[in-house]
Amino acid sequence: MKQTDTPALTIIFGATGDLAKRKLFPSLYNLFKKGEISNHFACVGVARRQWTEQQFRNHVRESVIAAIHSNEQMEEFLSHFYYQSLDVTNTEAYIELLQLANQLNTKYHLNGNRMFYLAMAPEFFGTIAEHLKRDGLTDTNGFSRLVIEKPFGHDLQSAKALNEKIRTAFRESEIFRIDHYLGKEMVQNIEAIRFANALFEPLWNSRYISNVQITTSETLGVEERGRYYEKNGALRDMVQNHVLQMVALLAMEPPIKLTTDEIRSEKVKVLRAMRRIEGQNIQHFFVRGQYGAGKINQEQQISYREEHNVDPESDTETFVAGKILIDNFRWAGVPFYIRTGKRLAKKSTKIVIQFKDIPMNLYYQTDQPLTPNLLVIHIQPDEGITLYLNAKRVGPYLDRTPVKLSFSNNRFNGINTPEAYEKLLYDALRGDATNFTHWDEVALSWNFIDAISHHWAETTEKFPNYEAGSMGPKQADQLLEQDGFFWWPIDYLDVDECK
């Protein structure tokens, strides 16, 4: 059995909330069952609700069972959980929390190691960080780490203000900003595909790649998150963080080593090289959309403006498509197309690398252009890789036909790969910050996004402009058509269709 061998106390602020229930407790349980967290671990749940320790443990049990239908070693796991009712804005309450932390430190031999996980609304992040320092919780002889959820600010200015507050209590190396896409198996696999294969890296540049397409589509609408979504929209909710992180991983130079600092430094260079589009020019590069009513899987869906907690005249975008240009030697002239949206035809996150056509088509007799070679990285829900090649059509023909070579994680493992949160919690406990976002990345991403959101705030778009169950507004297709490309249809790319 492997263990992190890192004793630690994890304090979850917002422990009665949705994220803790759906992701954090099941992930901690999985790590515990696999022997990946040391027996020297304890977890304190913090929220305002006046729960007893027993109520909290029951809640953790129910969360785990609902998520992973397992009861094995449950009592032993639950015995590590404690609860402290606390309003994070109340100074005195932190003194009690410190006492509990000290007791647990002695009881479980935790070496003073503390990880503070803020599973709460971001407006509390600064206050909590300040209190943790002022009331002595960060003053420990072990490590002191802060794990925070998105959104990290609303724009560059608010992100800077938040960062300054947090930095009064934690050094940059102690801050773990979660981007749960970076915990996904296939996102982490981008580096292995690129840097462990002689086949791809020599072709990974503007000479051989014609364009890159990143799609992350959801069938769900805003559900209960109307209030949050109204303030953010798809650009801030998805593009600023997850989508730009994928662009950076795809476009970065090979790092000299696969260490946190080296990888981050290469990602930062990509974010710096992204062409900043401004003013009227933005309409030629970015498209926004908002869903109207429509059908998904035969079920009628209401429009965004009819959703709970949404302004009936809302201008918030639920869809974004864009063309990103990276002005460096490797990528000059290669468009990176991105799109993300809600209430689209299919739930899917995929990356398509489209290679340039070969210089001459010897199969011209068929009057059909050759299908380009594609490398498709399936991120979710399917996980895998497909390579599209051309081969001779079987039989007495001179013709060629596209074939797919596929690797599917789903089939290979027979079970789901570990949840992103499980891996990220494990990394944070070990102090590995590779798959978390550094402040430099956050700042550069906001800088890029702000120019677009400011322009959109000053101009209007006729919403709704796409039907629920479609793949977004027609302008998103035109974005590629004007360059002679098209979005590869999600169904065509489906890993299950692979031969």
Is 80 annotated as catalytic? no
* Part of the chain binding ligand NAP (CB under 6 A), chosen from 113-121, 152-160, 212-220, 452-460: 113-121
Q: How far is the CB of 246 from ligand NAP (least distance, A)?
A: 17
- How far apart CA 26 and CA 41 sit, in angstroms, is 15
- How far apart CA 371 and CA 403 sit, in angstroms, is 10
> Binding-site residue total for ligand NAP (CB under 6 A)?
20
With CB under 6 A as the contact rule, the residue among 19, 222, 375, 377 that binds ligand NAP is 19
By beta-carbon proximity to ligand NAP, the closer residue of 51 and 286 is 51
Q: Does 153 bind ligand NAP (CB under 6 A)?
A: no
With CB under 6 A as the contact rule, the residue among 55, 89, 99, 401 that binds ligand NAP is 89
Q: Are strands 335-341 and 209-217 parallel, antiparallel or unpaired?
A: parallel
Q: Is 384 left (phi over 0), alpha (psi -120 to 50) or beta?
A: left
Instruction: State how far the alpha carbon of 137 is from the alpha carbons of 134, 275, 466, in Å.
Output: 8, 43, 50
Q: Does 209 bind ligand NAP (CB under 6 A)?
A: no
Q: Does 91 bind ligand NAP (CB under 6 A)?
A: no
- How far apart CA 316 and CA 463 sit, in angstroms, is 9
- Inter-residue contact 46 to 4 (CB < 8 Å): no
- DSSP lists the bridge partners of residue 466 as 291
**Residue 187 among known ligand-binding residues:** no
With CB under 6 A as the contact rule, the residue among 150, 184, 339, 400 that binds ligand NAP is 150
- Inter-residue contact 358 to 348 (CB < 8 Å): no
Q: Does 154 bind ligand NAP (CB under 6 A)?
A: no
Q: Does 17 bind ligand NAP (CB under 6 A)?
A: yes
With CB under 6 A as the contact rule, the residue among 10, 11, 14, 242 that binds ligand NAP is 14
* Part of the chain binding ligand NAP (CB under 6 A), chosen from 14-22, 275-283, 408-416, 462-470: 14-22
Specify burial of residue 216 (Cβ count, 10 A radius: 0-12, 13-18, 19+): buried
* Part of the chain binding ligand NAP (CB under 6 A), chosen from 44-52, 105-113, 374-382, 448-456: 44-52
Q: Which two tokens stand for residue 439?
A: 């402040």
Tokens 């990290």 correspond to what residue? 152
Q: Which helix (H) or strand (E) holds 291?
A: strand 291-292
By beta-carbon proximity to ligand NAP, the closer residue of 46 and 429 is 46
**Residue 150 among known ligand-binding residues:** yes
- How far apart CA 450 and CA 278 sit, in angstroms, is 10
- How far apart CA 246 and CA 112 sit, in angstroms, is 36
**Residue 87 among known ligand-binding residues:** yes
By beta-carbon proximity to ligand NAP, the closer residue of 428 and 493 is 428
Taken in order 268, 272, 278, 281, the sign of the CA dihedral is negative
Q: Does 119 bind ligand NAP (CB under 6 A)?
A: yes
**Residue 484 among known ligand-binding residues:** no
By beta-carbon proximity to ligand NAP, the closer residue of 47 and 246 is 47
CA triple 179-185-187, angle to 5 deg: 60
By beta-carbon proximity to ligand NAP, the closer residue of 18 and 399 is 18
Looking at 252-347, list the stretches that DSSP marks H as alpha helix, in order from N- to C-terminal side. 260-273
Q: Does 282 bind ligand NAP (CB under 6 A)?
A: no
Give the distance between the most distant pair of CA atoms in the chain. Answer: 84
| End-to-end alpha carbon distance in the chain | 38
By beta-carbon proximity to ligand NAP, the closer residue of 18 and 497 is 18
**Residue 184 among known ligand-binding residues:** yes
Task: Single out the catalytic residue among 59, 80, 131, 242.
Answer: 242
**Residue 48 among known ligand-binding residues:** yes
Site for ligand NAP in 387-446 (CB under 6 A): none
Site for ligand NAP in 45-74 (CB under 6 A): 47-49
Q: Does 471 bind ligand NAP (CB under 6 A)?
A: no
With CB under 6 A as the contact rule, the residue among 149, 237, 383, 422 that binds ligand NAP is 149
| Amino acid occupying residue 107 | K
Q: Does 121 bind ligand NAP (CB under 6 A)?
A: yes
- Inter-residue contact 365 to 398 (CB < 8 Å): yes
Q: Which two tokens stand for residue 115?
A: 């990880």
Annotated binding site for substrate: 180, 184, 218, 237, 342, 347
Give me the residues that bind ligand NAP (CB under 6 A), please.
Answer: 14-19, 22, 47-49, 86-89, 119-122, 149-150
Annotated binding site: 14-21, 48, 87-88, 150, 180, 184, 218, 237, 342, 347
Q: Which residues carry out catalysis?
A: 242
